[in-house]
Structure 1
Amino acid sequence: MEQTVGFAHYWAQGDAVSHAVAYVLLVMSIASWYYILSKTWSSWRIRRSSNALDGFWKAPTLTDAIAAMQDVDSEEIYVPLALRSSEAASISSKQQGAPSLNAATDPGELITRTLRREINRVSARLERGLTLLASVGSTAPFVGLFGTVWGIYHALAAVSASGTVQIDKVAGPVGEALIMTALGLVVAIPAVLAYNAFTRINRLTLAELDGFAHDLHAYLTTGERVGERQS
């Protein structure tokens, strides 16, 4: 009778360890795809809102510029820098002579500290989920390989117990066990590709954010942008 070979047969013949490996790969896949889809949507909206940086400086006042950017920056990546830095500038001017640490701090340093804090907050938000994607991409193949080795071990043990060694009795169970390695690669490859893509997008976003912070600092301390001062 021809032996049925496939994942269903491997699952039926597998033990608790084989099933546990499959469940671990399933959880890894669900978690990675959740972050892949959610961060893809978030990254698309972030890159779309980056076009508003040039329009920010075309507004007549800082209040108008912030209001215009709030309509575009749905992910709140660039707006908090303008809001918090303008608040820091107003606080430093209102608290002159008041007994506080902010009053004792140079206005430029207070604005710099505020901008640095907001950039760190945005950076932490952008990197959320990347550690999981990197972990899945690096460990999923080895988890699948462990399932393969475990399956091959049990297949060879079953053949040895039967007392007859035939190639058709060995090839089927071994081929089924190799399915776990394939599943590990199926889980790992999208996670690795997504990690590289999101890392590049985050690097571009942080570079634009850093330039925007420098322009804001120059405007709030001197009243002009860096490029205008250099020209």
Structure 2
Amino acid sequence: MISRISGLLAAIAFAATLAISPAHAQDQKPADAAASAAVDTAAPAAAPAAAEVSKKEDNPYGLKAMIDHGDAVSKGVLALLAIMSMGSWYILITKLWDTQKLANEAKDARATFFKKASLAEGLKSLKETGAFRYIAASAIEASEHHEGALTENIDHASWVSMNVDRAVGEVNTRVQGGLGFLATVGSTSPFIGLFGTVWGILQALTAIGVAGQASIDKVAGPVGEALIMTAIGLGVAVPAVLGYNWLVNRNKAVMGQVRAFAADLHGVLMGNRQVAKR
């Protein structure tokens, strides 16, 4: 009896196994089919994405396209703006260096020159190629060499003052050098960019007239070049104007220190003159 029951249970278990296996196989097949369909769907979706990335990289209306396909006028305007921009930045950097160097010389002159025992020692304490050394040497030479038929009609104080002012004026001229270029770039580069804009619009209208229809591919390229020229013109003008105003203020501060040194030096020379007369 027990053996019969065991055989019956075994038969039921075997039948259940056969019934479950086909259902599991059917479930596995749709899952595999869904996965394959997802892969097939993702592949076409990836292709347009790659094409879109390539399309963005090859922008037909950007700066590179303008350089590659632009005419002589547009390339000339772009080259002129590039030269103006490079010149502006060169002047900004070099003048910043010069004014900082002059400010350091002024600090050293205040700390050392007037504390020396004599003008000769004070002159040696100044930087050999510096502006303050040039002013001091000019003033001392004018004080020691006040002779000549014509210069005798000028009193000693006026003669020294004239030479000091002349030396300060030459230093000021060197400091102010290059500011005219910045002013020119700041005032003209927007109009040069505007000329590029007008030329681009003219090219667009010409392309429309030749084609006989206002299609986007005939208009977008030249108009894109026009807008790029306008942006570049403004990008060149703004740093030049800001740099000009900044350097003017720095030059005023530095030249104030130079004139103060010249005035003190003139007073020292006149004091030595009075002592020598006594």
Shorter-chain TM range is 0.7 to 0.9
Secondary structure in structure 2 of the residue aligned to 1:192:
helix
Please tell me whether the aligned partners of residues 10 and 177 of structure 1 are also in contact (alpha carbons under 8 angstroms): no
Asked if 1:121 corresponds to 2:121, the answer is no
Matches within 5 A, 1:11-50: 11-50=67-106
**CA offset at residue 203 of structure 1?**
0.7
Residues 1:16 and 1:169: Cα distance change in structure 2 (over 3 Å)? closer
Asked if 1:60 corresponds to 2:117, the answer is yes
Gaps of 5+ in 2: 1-54, 274-278
C-alpha distance in 1 between matches for 2:219 and 2:252: 50
Whichever residue aligns with residue 30 of structure 1, its letter is M
Matches within 5 A, 1:148-227: 148-167=197-216, 169-223=218-272
- Residues 49-102 of structure 1 show CA distances to partners (whole Å, capped at 9, x for unaligned) of 12123222122221221111226xx5x22121111111111112xx4xxx5223
**CA offset at residue 127 of structure 1?**
1.1
Higher share of residues assigned helix: 2
Partner of 1:86: 140
Between 1:153-162 and 1:140-149, the stretch displaced more is 153-162
TM-score of the superposed pair, with normalisation by structure 2: 0.71
Please tell me whether the aligned partners of residues 14 and 151 of structure 1 are also in contact (alpha carbons under 8 angstroms): no
- Equivalent position to 1:134, from 173, 183, 188: 183
Moved over 3 A (4+): 166-169
Whichever residue aligns with residue 243 of structure 2, its letter is A
**CA offset at residue 216 of structure 1?**
1.3
**CA offset at residue 9 of structure 1?**
1.9
Secondary structure in structure 2 of the residue aligned to 1:78:
helix
- Residues 121-145 of structure 1 show CA distances to partners (whole Å, capped at 9, x for unaligned) of 1111111111011101111111011
C-alpha distance in 2 between matches for 1:47 and 1:66: 18
**CA offset at residue 172 of structure 1?**
4.3
Whichever residue aligns with residue 141 of structure 1, its letter is P
Please tell me whether the aligned partners of residues 61 and 221 of structure 2 are also in contact (alpha carbons under 8 angstroms): yes
Partner of 1:228: none
C-alpha distance in 2 between matches for 1:4 and 1:29: 25
**CA offset at residue 220 of structure 1?**
0.8
**CA offset at residue 159 of structure 1?**
2.2
TM-score of the superposed pair, with normalisation by structure 1: 0.85
- Residues 185-226 of structure 1 show CA distances to partners (whole Å, capped at 9, x for unaligned) of 2222221122112111111122112222211111111249xx
- Equivalent position to 1:144, from 169, 182, 193: 193
**CA offset at residue 164 of structure 1?**
2.2
C-alpha distance in 1 between matches for 2:62 and 2:205: 17
Whichever residue aligns with residue 159 of structure 2, its letter is L
C-alpha distance in 1 between matches for 2:239 and 2:263: 36
C-alpha distance in 1 between matches for 2:75 and 2:97: 33
C-alpha distance in 1 between matches for 2:230 and 2:249: 29
Name the Cα RMSD after superposition: 2.2
The structure whose RCO (Cα within 8 Å, separation 6+) is larger is: 1
Partner of 1:5: 61
Between 1:159-168 and 1:206-215, the stretch displaced more is 159-168
